Amino acid sequence: MSIYDIDVNTITGEKCSLSNYQGKVLLVVNVASKCGLTAQYEELEALYKAKAADGLEILGFPCNQFLGQEPGTEAEIQQFCTLNYGVTFPMFAKIEVNGANRHPLYQALITAQPSAIKNPAGGLAAKLGEMKLLPSDDSDIMWNFEKFLISSEGEVLARFAPDVTVTSAEFKAELDKVLA
């Protein structure tokens, strides 16, 4: 199954096929409004503004599975993102990224890239490990703001740990290759 065969719901409730994004480079991110990493919205929006004309689409998927850090309704999430970070990239309805109710999109992404490129400093993984919050399955999404980079042909090229930001050398190198 291709990711383009998967349907999602927009943050405003409309059904949307990911085939609408065929031919674009995609960055799929599970997001949250009340997370220590929430400020990444600012970097994501800056990247979107800088690279959308080059064919990049950022798709934000709110998820409340990590310490309840995305408790709001879709309307509240949309308002938060717009007012606080000026988010203009597409946002979608809340989904689950781990467990029995994992959304088919995340099932496909994880199957294609079972492990993430980690932050060389190892900050978040060590902290979550100390707090006993790391998922038991290494292929599960570690936390909010994990990122998947997908080619314009729908190939899942790379997966980045939540603390690998879109301004990091690791991410930029992969993005530059796929946009070239």
3-state secondary structure of 114: coil
Round to whole Å and give the CA distance between 13 and 52.
24
Spatial distance between the Cα atoms of 148 and 27, rounded to a whole number of angstroms: 6
Query: How far apart (Å, rounded) are the C-alpha atoms in residues 99 and 37?
Result: 22
Q: Cα angle vertex 137, ends 37, 9, to 5°?
A: 55
Residue 5 token pair: 């065969």
Cα–Cα distance measured from residue 61 to residue 136, given in angstroms and rounded to the nearest whole number? 22
Q: Choosing from 16, 35, 63, 81, which is the catalytic residue?
A: 35
Residue with tokens 């781990």, as numbered in its chain: 98
- In Å, how far are 46, 86, 167, 180 from 173, measured between CA atoms? 17, 26, 10, 11
Is 35 known to be catalytic?
Answer: yes
CB 161, CB 117: distance < 8 Å: yes
Catalytic residues: 35
